[in-house]
Structure 1
Amino acid sequence: MSRIASLLAALWLGLATAGAAFAFNPDEVLDDPALEARARTLSLEFRCLVCQNQSIDDSNAELARDLRLLVRERLVAGDTDQQVIDYVVSRYGEFVLLKPRFSVRTVLLWGAPVAILLIGAGVMVAASRKRAGAAAATSADGLSDAERAELAKLLKDRDRQA
């Protein structure tokens, strides 16, 4: 029984790592190790537009392969890392970056939930203070002065009728 369990575990491990093993093709590797290292580093910064949660280095989608080849072409042409990033972003938009650039749009995207939470907390504090102020206006028996006067009047009228 333990032999079958170990075989199943080995099969599962092999299948779990197979996706990453097939994502990067050996025919894409550049001859210059320094350029290849830069290409691999840059490939980790770009999002696969098909998978969306993987870098193009980890994805085996055809578009990810095209982007990996494009990065390598630009590096071989002599572009700097920033020029390659700018070129890919100009073709595919900001969404292609796994780590978005700091801009007004990203500040709004990340800041809006924080702002909404702060506004909600402010509303809750204001409502709580309003309730505390209303509670302070009432006397120890829970009645305001106007309610106490109305109650006294009703009791007085009841006593006269009785």
Structure 2
Amino acid sequence: MFRSFFALCAALLISASLAVPALAVEPDEVMKDPAMEKRARVISKDLRCLVCQNQSIDDSNADLAKDLRVLVRERLSKGDSNNQVIDYIVARYGEYVLLKPRMAPHTWAMWFAGPLVLLLGIFGLVTAYRRRRAAPAAAKPAPALSEDEARRLDDLMNPGAK
């Protein structure tokens, strides 16, 4: 009994791990022309789902993502180029809809902040390393106390022990 239960569980786990994840694009959205469908998928992978925010509209199951996928396919059917479709959607929803923002003066901080912080960190490490190397050697240990100094120290440490 236990073996058959274990075999059933193992078979279910194996079949679940081999299952292909479901695609968000529904069959009624697919274009008849494979080249146009490929273009639509390329565009959809670069556009952010405004509901999910960290998924492309190609991967999202949200209603807005479906509407945007349909809009992309409609614009392509009308003869728009990939850039025209993207520009249309950006004009309508703002640059936030792009998963990979464009290189523009208002996005320079985002594009260059990471490398700049990395370079500043490397510069700081090199500077600290050089200062540590140039620091003087450790001070020599103090000489041992004379008998008189040892007695005076003992008197100071134990004032009532005479």
TM-score (norm 2): 0.68
1:90 equivalent in structure 2: 91
1:113 equivalent in structure 2: 114
Indicate the RMSD between aligned Cα atoms, in angstroms: 3.0
Determine what percentage of the aligned residue pairs are the same residue.
54
Give 2:71's aligned amino acid: L
Distance 1:11 1:127 in 2: 53
Give the paired residue count: 140
Distance 1:32 1:132 in 2: 68
Give 2:13's aligned amino acid: L
1:9 equivalent in structure 2: 14
2:36 equivalent in structure 1: 35
> What aligned pairs does 1:7-156 form with structure 2 within 5 A after superposition?
7-14=12-19, 17-18=21-22, 20=23, 23-130=24-131, 133=134, 135=136, 141=140
CA contact (8 A) 2:103 2:111 kept: no
Q: Give a deviation string over 1:43-68, Cα, whole Å, max 9, x none.
A: 12212222223221121111110110
Give 2:21's aligned amino acid: T
Assess, with a 3 A threshold, how the Cα gap between structure 1 residues 128 and 62 changes in structure 2: closer, same or farther.
Answer: same
Assess, with a 3 A threshold, how the Cα gap between structure 1 residues 99 and 113 changes in structure 2: closer, same or farther.
Answer: closer
5+ residue gaps, structure 2, are 1-5, 143-148, 150-162
SS of 2:60's partner is coil
More helix by share: 1
State the Cα distance separating 1:82 from its structure 2 match. Answer: 0.9
State the Cα distance separating 1:132 from its structure 2 match. Answer: 5.0
Distance 1:33 1:90 in 2: 27
SS of 1:38's partner is helix
